Amino acid sequence: MTPAANLPEEVEHGLARYRTMLTIRYFEETVCAAAVAGRIRGPVHPYIGEEAIATGVCAALRRDDYVASTHRGHGHAIGKGADPAAMMLELYGRVGGLCGGKGGSMHVADFSIGMLGANGVIGDGVTMSLGAIQGSRLLGRDVVAAAFIGDGGMNRGPVLEALNWAKTFRLPVLFVCEDNRYSASTHSRSVTAGPGFTARAAGFGLPAEMVDGNDVIEVERAARTMVEQLRAGAGPMFLHALTYRIGGHLAQDAAPYRPKEELARRSPLDPLTRIETWLAHHGIETHTLEAERAAVRESIATAERAAQAADFPPAASVFADIQDIGAPQWGA
């Protein structure tokens, strides 16, 4: 699957973003089907419809920069460069999973690429990302962090504390609010006061911008500009990315609480359609896109087959990695 030679750099990048977004999309479709079928246990929060945000923001980061994710974390992990096959093993609870099968969907993490983890507690990734930066500063490292948070999570106290804290200590943290309009089954606007999140962030002194979160080119442009400023010492910034959760809150959630008209209005805004249109506009032929899709689909299918065939972790791993002092013993 070699794209036509000598593409302009801009189009090469567009294709690379497209591949990342496809990887997220097919990964999510695959694990949702597996969750519905009962092959994957526990909650799975699909990132379908929001792929452009993780892809665009992570593209603006270095490998050693940090990402702090949310409960809806697969996209952030893939965006930052985590191996989808290792993530598949994790969701299947198998040996070789990112966390040895002990975390599952809500804890996918890869510290080798600065991916601090999805998180089962809303808002905690945000405060932890500030610490990762404050610690790194003490060690003389010039890294930055992107801290993702949902529109619902914007109402948690620690997130408000974090806005104040990041500004007080001028930490190079990019807050990224992924506004998919919903907080589980609740329309977020119905439980959120004030003129909006950019105004809220500005109230703490953070430069804040709103972007179309379904447009990966726009997201990356905005994130790059902000990350450059962060690295130059400008202090924390806030990116409000508007998007829409195409699926349910969980794999099994049919989201009957959403008005039909709303869905009909939102569907054409699918970020994958958007980047495909952009690529076509830049001369990429339909069969090239088709080939990209087939290749990614095949690699995710291969990852799932491998995960289903993989071993479960050894029983003794229940007792591994708890603590050194006073570690509980197997069989004790």
Partner 1 sequence: MGRMTYAEASILALREEMRRDPRVWALGEDIGRGGIGGQYKGLQDEFGAQRICDTPISESTIMGVGVGAALAGTRPVIELRITDFALCSTDEIVNQAAKVRYMLGGQARAPLVVRQPNGMCAGFAAQHSQSTEAWWIHTPGLVVVAPSTPRDNRALLKAAIRSDDPVIYLEHKEMWGVDGEVPDAEETIELGKARVAREGRDLTIVTWSKTASFAEEAARTLAGEGIEAEVVDLRTLYPWDRDCVIASVERTGRLLVAQESVEIGGFGAEIVADVTQHAFGALKAPPARIGAPRTPVPYSQPLEEIVRVDAPKIAAAARRVAAARRG
Ligand X SMILES: Cc1ncc(C[n+]2csc(CCOP(=O)(O)OP(=O)(O)O)c2C)c(N)n1
* Residue 184 contact among Mg ion, ligand X, partner 1, none, beta carbon within 5 to 8 Å by kind: ligand X
Question: Which of 27, 175, 182, 244 lies at the binding interface for ligand X (CB under 6 A)?
Answer: 182
Residue 217 backbone dihedrals phi, psi, to 5 degrees? -65, -45
Smallest distance, partner 1 to C-beta of residue 285, A? 42
Residue 135 backbone dihedrals phi, psi, to 5 degrees? -65, -45
Question: Which of 150, 213, 247, 271 lies at the binding interface for Mg ion (CB under 5 A)?
Answer: 150
Computed from CA positions of residues 8, 9, 12, 17, in that sequence, does the dihedral angle turn out positive or negative?
A: negative
Kindly report the length of the chain: 332
Q: Is 9 exposed, middle or buried (0-12, 13-18, 19+ CB in 10 A)?
A: exposed
Segment lying near Mg ion (by CB under 5 A), choices 115-123, 146-154, 266-274, 321-329: 146-154
CA distance 91 to 162: 30
How many Cβ atoms from other residues are within 10 Å of residue 128's Cβ? 19
Q: Which of residues 74-103 bind partner 1 (CB under 8 A)?
A: 97-103
Question: Which of 16, 36, 121, 234 lies at the binding interface for ligand X (CB under 6 A)?
Answer: 121
- Distances in Å between the Cα of 159 and the Cα atoms of 200, 243, 310 are 11, 20, 39
324 makes contact with partner 1 (CB under 8 A): yes
323 makes contact with partner 1 (CB under 8 A): yes
What is the size of the binding site for ligand X (CB under 6 A)? Answer: 17
69 makes contact with ligand X (CB under 6 A): no
Segment lying near partner 1 (by CB under 8 A), choices 22-30, 120-128, 184-192, 257-265: 120-128
Smallest distance, partner 1 to C-beta of residue 166, A? 9
240 makes contact with ligand X (CB under 6 A): no
316 makes contact with partner 1 (CB under 8 A): no
Question: Which of 44, 54, 91, 128 lies at the binding interface for partner 1 (CB under 8 A)?
Answer: 128
310 makes contact with partner 1 (CB under 8 A): no
Q: Which is nearer to Mg ion, 70 or 288 (CB)?
A: 70
Smallest distance, Mg ion to C-beta of residue 240, A? 12
152 makes contact with ligand X (CB under 6 A): yes
Residue 257: how many CA atoms within 13 Å on its side-chain side? Answer: 12
What is the size of the binding site for partner 1 (CB under 8 A)? Answer: 48
Residue closest to ligand X (Cβ): 150
Nearest Cα residue to 92 out of 309, 300, 302:
309
Contacts to partner 1 by CB under 8 A: 66, 68, 97-103, 107, 109-112, 116-117, 120-121, 124, 126-139, 157-158, 161-162, 164-165, 168, 320-326, 328
Residues of the shown chain interacting with ligand X in the complex, contacts defined by CB under 6 A: 70-72, 120-122, 150-153, 180, 182-184, 188, 245, 249
Residues contributing to the site for Mg ion (CB under 5 A)? 150-152, 180, 182
